[in-house]
Structure 1
Amino acid sequence: MTKEILITGGAGFIGINFVYYLMKNADYQLTNIDALTYASHPFIKDEFQENDRYRFIKCDISKQQELDKALDRSYDAIINFAAESHVDRSIENAAPFIQTNITGTMNLLNAVLAGKAKKMIQISTDEVYGTLLRTDKAFTESTPLSPNNPYSASKAAADLLVQSYFNTYQLPVMITRCSNNYGPFQHLEKFIPKVITSALLNKPIPIYGDGQQIRDWLYVEDHCRAIYTVLNNGKAGEVYNIGGGNEQTNLHVVSKIINYLGADQSLIRHVEDRLGHDRRYAINYEKIKRELNWEPQVLFEDGLLKTINWYRDKIQRVDYT
């Protein structure tokens, strides 16, 4: 019997990539819900309109009345991508992050508790762990949560809520925490898309502080494979770290992009550092490799070239979707 899957936030960056992944690699019935905010891709609501395996419902998960429209059937799983995720925006105004990332997650947990789904995967982030020194070991699933900005604090709170529902109600829930994703469909406000598009358009490329902040980059398709693996083989109550094994300084990433595009290094502009800016993230993904046989397959250089070419094609067609 075909599985029924509810995907929340499936018009956003990682969510839309996961929708495409499932439509290509599985025979599930998909219900995709999204509030269609500024960072979404509205075309996804009609992308598979001829396919009876797919339906789209406009929905804000923080609003119970809207969510109820999607809870008209029982699901085998809910996969929660829906989130406000831009750190700078959370520093300017944390309220939307509290609503979507915490209240929205609670509403989904209550739906599972009410029998509307058999299990739920909470898509989280390595940012809940805080920051690392260069000499520190990478984050593991047992690293204490220590968020440093309103966005990561809201995600940490949601994670704790998920874990509390497992401990209190034995709810079949799992949490995945990924390192920095990159790839097609990421919003232009994010680091790699901003650098690529700025270089292509010969505009200044802003870099926070000295540019020596380190991130562990994960190609979005590798992330989708990991979530699919957790969906099918993950164990209730567990946390799974998903990393790319690609630690790079921001400045090094910018230089790679500039060199590939033949742009001018003088486009780089060092600007005042972000408030509460974490210095380094690194994910230890040994657990998911050992227990579920997943590891990243896309080399950073290969994924970066695919991403650069995707955005270049969009700009050439004057199409920023």
Structure 2
Amino acid sequence: MILVTGGAGFIGGNFVLDWLNQSNEAIINLDKLTYAGNLDTLISLKDDPRHRFIRGDIGDRELIGRLLVEFKPRAVVNFAAESHVDRSIHGPSEFIQTNIVGTFNLLEAVRDYWNGLPAREREAFRFLHVSTDEVYGTLEPTDHPFSETTAYRPNSPYSASKAASDHLVRAWHHTYGLPVLTTNCSNNYGPYHFPEKLIPLVILNALAEKPLPIYGDGQQIRDWLFVKDHCSALRRILEAGTTGETYNVGGWNEKANLDVVRAICALLDELKPRADGRPYAEQITFVTDRPGHDRRYAIDARKLERELGWKPADTFETGLRKTVMWYLANARWVQNVTSGAYLDWVQIQYGEQS
């Protein structure tokens, strides 16, 4: 079996569902269930004996140690993190605590466990740390995409805390020999995405006839990765990646935020037209840009393709259509996740325009 941390969040939850759809290997799923952790995502696993959910914090070294000894996983996949840039600007302390201190405590618990394994199991064990392309900073329009050797230049409290966690993982490999793998992914999108992020926010605001808020001029460029493609990459890296190595995971889909929003509007015009027949794009509203907003991210994922034979299966167009259709078909999940706390956050972040 494997231990997954943060497995009730967006990417972690998709990974758990995808893993159990592809394999009979059991999962111990540890999640703190903060605002973005949602057990509704895992409701289909309610009676599945291959999945055991435990509520807990990666910073709780004693709990992690007990779980490792009890369940004896062959791998740990670490998704657990505070991950929203805007929230990190308003309140960085939780990001420092979870992403840095939490990762340290998790690594120490895993190191103790790994040191006690028989030689064959020690050799086979893996610690997969899931990180972000934001640790690399920002790119100019003509710069080459981020590679695994790009220098770290984080520009937000979130990306700085993730960069620190990456450095800890690297150090635990080089100092203690812990068999780690690190991935740095581009912007994910897809089913079960918490609706404070751009794509689900735009879908839900559009359907609610609310403004579609776009920061600044909307020309910030991101490389978009369909979450199920990310899950397949992680499975492949866990299976065959070289310990101590970093693998960038990207979708080869650089898009400006404004173009993403317009594409969503066009899909909604087709799949669920407004009652008045007018285009959803009329709801687009430009809002004040956030502090330190990075202009462009782009991932060079050729190492992953060259060494492990992985490349994304979905284009941005096919992945976005699947995403919009999922949100249209899953109103109950949306209603349950958009609690009062979430609505308060949107009001703080975007003001009355949202």
**TM-score bucket of the superposed structures, by smaller chain:** over 0.9
CA deviations on 1:178-216 (whole Å, 9 max, x unpaired) are 000000001000010001111111100110000000000
One-letter identity of the residue aligned with 2:250: G
Residue 43 of structure 1 is matched in structure 2 by 40
Instruction: Indicate which of 112, 133, 137 corresponds to 1:130.
Output: 137
Q: Distance in 1 between matches of 2:142 and 2:196?
A: 30
Q: Distance in 2 between matches of 1:255 and 1:132?
A: 23
Length-normalised TM-score, structure 1: 0.95
Alpha-carbon contact 1:33-1:70 (below 8 Å) kept: no
Alpha-carbon contact 1:121-1:231 (below 8 Å) kept: yes
CA deviations on 1:49-106 (whole Å, 9 max, x unpaired) are 4332221100111122443442323211000000100100000111111111111211
Deviation, structure 1 residue 309: 1.1
Deviation, structure 1 residue 320: 4.2
Q: Distance in 2 between matches of 1:138 and 1:282?
A: 5
Alpha-carbon contact 2:173-2:180 (below 8 Å) kept: yes
Q: Distance in 1 between matches of 2:248 and 2:200?
A: 24
Alpha-carbon contact 1:112-1:119 (below 8 Å) kept: no
Residue 165 of structure 1 is matched in structure 2 by 172
Q: Distance in 1 between matches of 2:296 and 2:237?
A: 26
Deviation, structure 1 residue 41: 1.2
CA deviations on 1:206-235 (whole Å, 9 max, x unpaired) are 100000000000000000000000010011
One-letter identity of the residue aligned with 2:235: Y
Where do residues 1-321 of structure 1 align in structure 2 (5 Å cutoff)? Answer: 4-43=1-40, 47-71=44-68, 72-116=70-114, 118-262=125-269, 263-315=279-331, 319-321=335-337
Inter-CA distance 44–65: structure 2 relative to 1 (3 Å threshold): farther
Q: Distance in 1 between matches of 2:336 and 2:199?
A: 15
CA deviations on 1:145-169 (whole Å, 9 max, x unpaired) are 0000000000000000000111101
Q: Distance in 2 between matches of 1:288 and 1:122?
A: 16
One-letter identity of the residue aligned with 2:293: H
Deviation, structure 1 residue 43: 3.2
Deviation, structure 1 residue 249: 0.3
Inter-CA distance 120–210: structure 2 relative to 1 (3 Å threshold): same
Report the 3-state secondary structure (helix = DSSP H, G, I; strand = E; otherwise coil) of the residue aligned with 1:43.
helix
CA deviations on 1:116-172 (whole Å, 9 max, x unpaired) are 582200000000000001100000000000000000000000000000111101110
Q: Distance in 2 between matches of 1:41 and 1:284?
A: 32
Inter-CA distance 266–51: structure 2 relative to 1 (3 Å threshold): closer
Q: Note the residue ranges of structure 2 that are not aligned, 5 or more in a row.
A: 115-121, 270-278, 338-354
Report the 3-state secondary structure (helix = DSSP H, G, I; strand = E; otherwise coil) of the residue aligned with 1:114.
helix
Alpha-carbon contact 1:57-1:70 (below 8 Å) kept: no
Q: Which range moves more in the overlay, 162-171 or 220-229?
A: 162-171
More helix by percentage:
2
Alpha-carbon contact 2:41-2:192 (below 8 Å) kept: no
Q: Distance in 2 between matches of 1:305 and 1:253?
A: 12
Q: Distance in 2 between matches of 1:251 and 1:295?
A: 26
Deviation, structure 1 residue 268: 1.0
